[in-house]
A and B are shown apart, each in its own frame.
Chain A
Amino acid sequence: MAIFNYSSREISCKIVYYGPGLCGKTTNLQYIYNKTSPNARGKMISLATETERTLFFDFLPLSLGEIRGFKTRFHLYTVPGQVFYGAIRKLVLKGVDGIVFVADSQIMRTEANLESMDNLRENLLDHGYSLERVPYVVQYNKRDLPAVAPVSELRAALNPAGVPEFEGIATQGLGVFETLKSVAKLVLLDLRRGGRR
């Protein structure tokens, strides 16, 4: 749920990075944080366990500049990917304006990707949204690892709707900003249409 603030002339939107455990959601945010000028970003918050697994969420506020006199702010969140954190994932999705589904390209993670995608659909439905109506993009991450599935296979499994998709190596930043720009654009276009009413 974007907030239009006519008083301070700001618009704030919420983008959530979703995907199975260890697929690279936090790594995407860390790369964005490291490569963004300090004027354009706030503090990155990671609520993680002692072993650096996300427990609740990561949060990174970004300020992209102005459109028609409105400052555009994007709040990026990740969800905890591990299966048993389902209740928390659902909480983070509340009020979402755009979604990045980060898939782990390794063949051995195929099932985990599918399970996470199903879980995303279910959680959105519980909030009264449907994936078909929320702006979203897909990132096939970890393309540098051995034993990755071909993109065509990942596409067939995870992106039958043909939303924008990107190959990524988040640890090196490959595809990270392309993914972010793409989802941010979709969110703004969605707002132009007057949102998902």
Chain B
Amino acid sequence: MVNPEMVMFEEELLQIQAICERLVRDANAAAVFIVDKNGQLIAEAGETENLDTTSLATLTAGNMAATGGIAKLLKENDFATQFHEGQRRHMHIQVVGQRVILVVVFDERSSLGLVRLRVRRASQEIDSVFEVMLSKVAEAPMASPFAEITDEDIDNLFND
């Protein structure tokens, strides 16, 4: 199997969450997200209450996948950084370690320069957290938490 399930542990997730929260402060950002390349949301920080974060994660991953496809047509490996400029809100998107996507939403309280600067440091930190997490999984492969489920458990899901 090329892509085994991704396993997120509490310890590393807390570290990633802390990095996101600091990035919101350091970059004066409105919101920060970390999205897996397949479109699943991993962490979020900042003003996210009025945002549809699930959709945002999916569309960001789709967007990155599409531009990645364009990059290959142009004989580039990837376009690792993207910037979308709106009238009030802007978005900076950065691929981190070929694994996850770091999204920063910001407005007039910040600037592209500041966001880029802060994203650079945060990316390195996020990458090293994922390195640790992946090596953990590789060293001690875990049994699936679903290894013990019964047919009945599954049927119960669909009884509503």
User: Interface residues, chain A, CB within 8 Å of chain B?
Assistant: 1-7, 11-12, 14, 42-43, 45, 47, 56-57, 59, 61, 64-65, 67-68, 70, 72, 75, 87-88, 91-92, 94-95, 127-129, 133, 181, 184-185, 188-189, 191-197
Contact = CB atoms under 8 A, between A and B. Distances in A.
A192 B144 contact: yes
A4 B36 CA distance: 12
A47 B65 CA distance: 15
A194 B1 CA distance: 11
Interface string B102-133: 00000000000000000000000000000000
Nearest to B66: A91
B46 interface: no
6 contacts: A3-B8, A45-B58, A68-B149, A185-B154, A188-B154, A192-B148
Contacts of B160: 65
Interface of B: 1-10, 13-14, 36-40, 42, 52, 54-55, 58-59, 62, 65-66, 69, 143-149, 153-154, 156-158, 160
A95 B37 contact: yes
B154 A59 contact: no
A183 to B, nearest CB: 12
A118 B32 CA distance: 40
B1 A197 contact: yes
A59 B5 contact: no
Contact of A195 (B5, B9, B65): B5
Contact of A87 (B59, B69, B145, B154): B69
A4 B1 CA distance: 17
Contacts of B4: 1, 195, 197
A1 B145 contact: no
A59 B55 CA distance: 8
| Prevailing SS type, chain A contact patch | mixed
A191 B55 contact: no
Nearest to B155: A185
A42 B52 contact: yes
Find the residue from A6, A59, A133 having the highest chain B CB count within 10 A. Answer: A6
Contacts of B156: 65, 67
B93 to A, nearest CB: 16
A70 B154 CA distance: 12
Contacts of B38: 1, 14, 94-95
A1 B6 contact: yes
B149 A3 contact: no
Nearest to B59: A45
Find the residue from A5, A42, A45 having the highest chain B CB count within 10 A. Answer: A5
A188 B149 CA distance: 9
A195 B1 contact: yes
A91 B58 contact: no
* 4 nearest A-B pairs in the assembled complex, by CB-CB distance: A95-B38, A128-B2, A1-B3, A197-B1
Given A188-B146, A195-B4, A67 B153 contact: yes
A192 to B, nearest CB: 5
B147 A192 contact: yes
